[in-house]
Amino acid sequence: MNTRVKVSGSMGTTQLAFEAFLYHADTTETTLFKIYSYEINNTTYETIRQTISHPTYSCLATDRFGVRIYGKTTANNNITISTIV
């Protein structure tokens, strides 16, 4: 998985979290895995490369696969995280 990302400031520790999940026909979800990027402190776009090796997952024909990307920071001020996926 490759994501281009930058932050508006380098204060604190800022990371992205990547979460893969299945969305089922009954509107429930099953999280398959969640991983965090290394610290992001660049104010121009750089590429984050994540290699993930996980076991095989089973799904139904009616399931949908989804990926959420979250940002988190320890900065005391507002940080804008910009991504290109």
Domain ranges of the chain: 2-84
Residue 24: strand pairing partners? none
pLDDT number for residue 16: 93
Mean pLDDT by 10-residue block, N- to C-terminus, for the chain (85 residues)? 89 92 96 92 91 83 94 91 90
Residue 33: strand pairing partners? 20
pLDDT number for residue 2: 85
C-beta of residue 17 within 8 angstroms of C-beta of residue 1: no
pLDDT number for residue 31: 94
Number of other CB atoms surrounding residue 79 within 10 Å: 18
Contacts of 11 (CB under 8 A, 6+ apart): 75, 76, 77, 79
